[in-house]
């Protein structure tokens, strides 16, 4: 048995002339939480649909749980759990009925079905509302029920496509806790797509940053952030970006300068010690930044360095 839960080589998915997924390579070990980070339209959901056998690849290959997603699609499906962006729940059924139906669809016998439904009810944590119609549930309740239904057959690999989009902060943290628990207690491999930097940082063992259908950076969150530098100085500017980058790059304590759409980011080992020198150098060149902010690197800084634009700006648009 391969040590990889998910493997993809040169994966491509085209829609007409648009390459939604453009040569993606993946090697995800069993038991890992892998965060797929990128803005809307980057190719995250399309990649998931190919790996879940919902879309055929245009080129390349992929295996999930040791089975080819094209040749062995049925074998892949019985080994995975899937919770997509929109919860696939029937509003006119109760939570208990949905869990029982899911268990029947996977062919579980009566004894196993009762045990799995009972366990999934605990995971969903809906209390007495488990017997109410789904149309009465909040967004957080629907998301927990959808997650519980995806796990009822003990899948080897769980695909979560932006599982906390639209949830309030409390519900989001509860979903995070459940993902961690499932991974730690049952060894479930989790492929998590997200556009939330803090979600990838909090949950993922490794992160793959995807932009325009291609993985542009990959690694452990802590290593990716360290690659930017010990500190970053974020300079907000409306003009003279190239000139400001040249001025900053000429300073001896600057490790790297990245130009974004709304300013520049300066990587350095000592942000507090350098910020005054940056301000003076800008003033001498008649460059007037809107702000200079010193902080430790984030995954957004990694994203900026890899793509030339910030993920937070993409989400806010």
Query: What is the tens place of the pLDDT at every residue in 162-207?
Result: 888 777 788 788 888 888 888 998 889 999 998 888 899 989 999 9
Structure confidence by residue, pLDDT tens digits, 275-310: 999 999 999 999 999 999 999 888 888 888 888 888
Residue from 300, 297, 296 nearest 313 by CA:
300
CA dist 260 and 300 (Å) reads 11
Structure confidence by residue, pLDDT tens digits, 129-141: 999 999 999 888 8
Q: Regarding the domain delimited by 4-223, which CATH topology (the fold level of the hierarchy) does it fall under?
A: Rossmann fold (3.40.50)
For the sheet containing 214-219, what is the strand order? 80-83, 157-161, 189-194, 33-37, 206-211, 214-219
Residue from 65, 134, 63 nearest 102 by CA:
134
> Is 80 exceeded by the pLDDT of residue 313?
no
| Count, residues in the chain | 317
Residue spans of alpha helices (H) in the chain: 44-51, 73-77, 95-105, 110-124, 139-150, 169-186, 197-203, 221-228, 241-249, 271-284, 299-307, 311-316
Structure confidence by residue, pLDDT tens digits, 211-260: 999 999 999 999 998 888 789 999 999 899 999 999 999 999 999 999 98
DSSP label of 192: E
Q: What is the CA radius of gyration of the chain?
A: 23
- Map out the domains of the chain as residue ranges: 4-223, 230-296
Cα three-residue angle 292-315-50, rounded to 5 degrees: 135
pTM (two decimals)? 0.82
* CATH no., domain 230-296: 3.30.70.980
Neighbour count for residue 273 (Cβ, 10 Å): 12
Structure confidence by residue, pLDDT tens digits, 7-19: 999 999 999 999 9
Tokens matching residue 307: 């793509």
């Amino acid at each position: 048995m391969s040590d990889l839960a998910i493997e993809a080589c040169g994966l491509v998915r085209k829609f007409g002339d648009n390459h939604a997924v453009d040569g993606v390579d993946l090697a995800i070990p069993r038991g890992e939480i892998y965060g797929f980070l990128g803005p809307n339209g980057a190719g995250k959901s399309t990649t998931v649909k190919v790996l879940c056998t919902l879309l055929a690849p245009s080129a390349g290959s992929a295996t999930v749980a040791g089975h080819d997603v094209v040749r062995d699609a049925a074998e892949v499906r019985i080994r995975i759990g899937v919770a997509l962006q929109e919860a696939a729940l029937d509003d006119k059924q109760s939570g208990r009925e949905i869990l029982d139906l899911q268990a029947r669809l996977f062919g579980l016998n009566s004894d196993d079905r009762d045990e799995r439904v009972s366990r999934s009810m605990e995971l969903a944590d809906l209390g007495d509302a488990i017997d109410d119609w789904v149309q009465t549930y909040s967004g957080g309740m629907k998301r927990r029920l959808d997650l519980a239904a995806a796990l009822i057959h003990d899948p080897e690999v769980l695909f979560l496509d932006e599982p906390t989009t639209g949830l309030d902060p409390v519900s989001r943290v509860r979903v995070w806790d459940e993902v961690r628990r499932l991974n730690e207690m049952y060894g479930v491999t989790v492929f998590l797509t997200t556009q939330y930097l803090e979600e990838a940082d909090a949950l993922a063992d490794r992160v793959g940053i995807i932009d325009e259908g291609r993985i542009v950076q990959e690694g452990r969150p802590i290593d990716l952030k360290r690659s930017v530098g010990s500190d970053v100085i974020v300079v907000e500017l409306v003009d003279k970006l190239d000139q400001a980058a040249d001025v900053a790059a000429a300073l001896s304590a600057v490790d790297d300068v990245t130009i974004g759409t709304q300013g520049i980011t300066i990587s350095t080992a000592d942000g507090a010690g350098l910020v005054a020198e940056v301000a003076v150098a800008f003033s001498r060149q008649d460059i007037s930044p809107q702000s200079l902010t010193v902080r430790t690197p984030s995954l957004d800084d990694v994203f900026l360095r890899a793509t030339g634009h910030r993920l937070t700006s993409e989400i806010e648009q």
